[in-house]
Structure 1
Amino acid sequence: MTRHPGTNRTAQCVVCGRAFPLPKLRKIGQLRPGLHEMIAAEVADCGAESLICDEDLAHYRRRYVEKLLAEERGELSELDRQVLDSFEKGVSTVQSSAASVLDRNPTFGERTADRVASFGGSWTFILFFMGVLFAWMALNVSGLFAVPFDPYPFILLNLVLSCLAALQAPVIMMSQRRQEEKDRRRAENDYMINLRAELEIRQLHEKIDHQMAHQWERLAELQQIQIDLLERRGDTQRG
């Protein structure tokens, strides 16, 4: 049962039975109907005037939202559960594993791969490499050397080009794989933020609808009181 001591301004949570200050308790009757029904189905002697603490309310709210998502999407993913955990604890969804991956210091191999990929995909590399090729071929066909170090058909040049392509390709693939991992983490983070925003907006809509329903009930009650007063006044005047 709920107690309201007048001295220390505390009351008992109907779920866990512990005493809390009144600002940390909520009336179950003020919750949205679906959440109210879930709590009432599991807790005995739970009425509209019963109080629930913030911790138990967050737990039931998480279960309620999880049930709604499961009905809409089927089986929940790991990202969905991470969002629900942050939703229950009241922390920001942005604090995810993506931040550690994006903000951590890259290793020497990762920095080297990024630089090679950046330089290999630029016009500077293309022009520099074309200059080296033309200079190589010009030195071997111009007759400056009595014995060219790589005469036509430039077998040594073909070997160098093959070795360069064999080394450059996996380095660029390593950089692309790391970039794909960063993009995937960003996409997951964006999904988690969007899902959290959707849950917050849905919760606000339910709160507004619930408040409007309560206001309509109060207006109808006030209107009925006014009608009763007018009828009494009419009876008094006729008497």
Structure 2
Amino acid sequence: MNVKEIDKLFINEKEHLEKLHQIVEQTIKEEQLIVNNLLNPPKEVLSRGQEISDKVARFGGSWKFIIIFAIILTVWIVVNATLPEKDRFDPYPFILMNLVLSTIAALQAPIIMMSQNRQEEKDRMRSENDYLVNLKAEMEIRSLHQKIDLLLEEQIKTLFDTQAKQFALLEEINTRLENHLKNKS
């Protein structure tokens, strides 16, 4: 085995390492792209009605709303129960209050449902995105397996070639040694 063959082996090994480095760089870039897309999703454009339904749903489902509503109802009942009969604007059985409560419930329910439907659509899209990310990861894993298999095949071939050359070199050395020993005798 001469110097040229040894240099060729080093060059082949360097090429294998460069291919592996390229595979790793490409995988890192693709992974970074996915991470950037997940961290910076596209901005959601909401109509004025959607913004209002979200605010109503957020406020209508809060303790602040429940407390304020309970205070208003309590004041309504106390005022209408304690004022003289001629000054009461909604005497017992509080028919006006029932009408107001029914109206609020009738308006609030569909608005909250609109907000929930939008949230359900967002959840569906997020679930779809998760599925696509998982699918992409599975495809990347398969691709990496294929690349590693190819690299291993190339390395095994190089190893066999190197071993064959080393064996030939050892035979040559052995022959020279035997010839040298015969010449001395």
Distance 2:178 2:87 in 1: 134
- Structure 2 residue corresponding to 1:158, chosen from 91, 98, 120: 98
Structure 2 vs 1, CA of residues 147 and 233 (structure 1 numbering), >3 Å: closer, same or farther?
closer
Alpha-carbon offset, residue 147 of structure 1 = 4.7
Structure 1 residues 2-55: Cα deviation after superposition (integer angstroms, max 9, x where no partner): xxxxxxxxxxxxxxxxxxxxxxxxxxxx9xxxxxxxxxxxxxxxxxxxxxxxxx
Structure 1 residues 181-235: Cα deviation after superposition (integer angstroms, max 9, x where no partner): 1122122222222322222232123212211221111111111122122223333
Q: In the alignment, what sits opposite 2:73?
A: 133
- Structure 2 residue corresponding to 1:115, chosen from 49, 52, 55: 55
Q: In the alignment, what sits opposite 2:44?
A: 104
Q: In the alignment, what sits opposite 2:125?
A: 185
Long gaps (5+) in structure 2? 1-18, 20-29, 180-185
Instruction: For 1:150, give the aligned amino acid.
Output: D
| Alpha-carbon contact 2:80-2:92 (below 8 Å) kept | yes
Structure 1 vs Structure 2 CA RMSD: 2.6
* Higher normalized contact order (CA 8 Å, seq sep 6+, divided by chain length): 2
Aligned residues: 148
| Alpha-carbon contact 2:80-2:90 (below 8 Å) kept | yes
Q: Which moved more, 1:225-234 or 1:155-164?
A: 225-234
Alpha-carbon offset, residue 158 of structure 1 = 1.2
Q: In the alignment, what sits opposite 2:140?
A: 200
Q: In the alignment, what sits opposite 2:153?
A: 213
| Alpha-carbon contact 2:85-2:91 (below 8 Å) kept | no
Does residue 225 of the first structure (1) align with residue 153 of the second (2)? no
Distance 2:65 2:146 in 1: 59
Q: In the alignment, what sits opposite 2:174?
A: 234
Does residue 176 of the first structure (1) align with residue 176 of the second (2)? no
Q: In the alignment, what sits opposite 1:52?
A: none
* SS of corresponding position for 1:118: helix
User: Where in structure 2 are the equivalents of 1:75-94 lying within 5 Å?
Assistant: 92=33
Q: In the alignment, what sits opposite 1:13?
A: none
Structure 1 residues 96-129: Cα deviation after superposition (integer angstroms, max 9, x where no partner): 9x944xx133111001001101111111111111
Q: Which moved more, 1:217-226 or 1:193-202?
A: 193-202
* SS of corresponding position for 2:168: helix
Distance 2:67 2:84 in 1: 24
Question: Larger Rg: 1 or 2?
Answer: 2
Tell me which protein shows more strand as a share of its residues. 1
Normalized against structure 2, the TM-score is what?
0.69
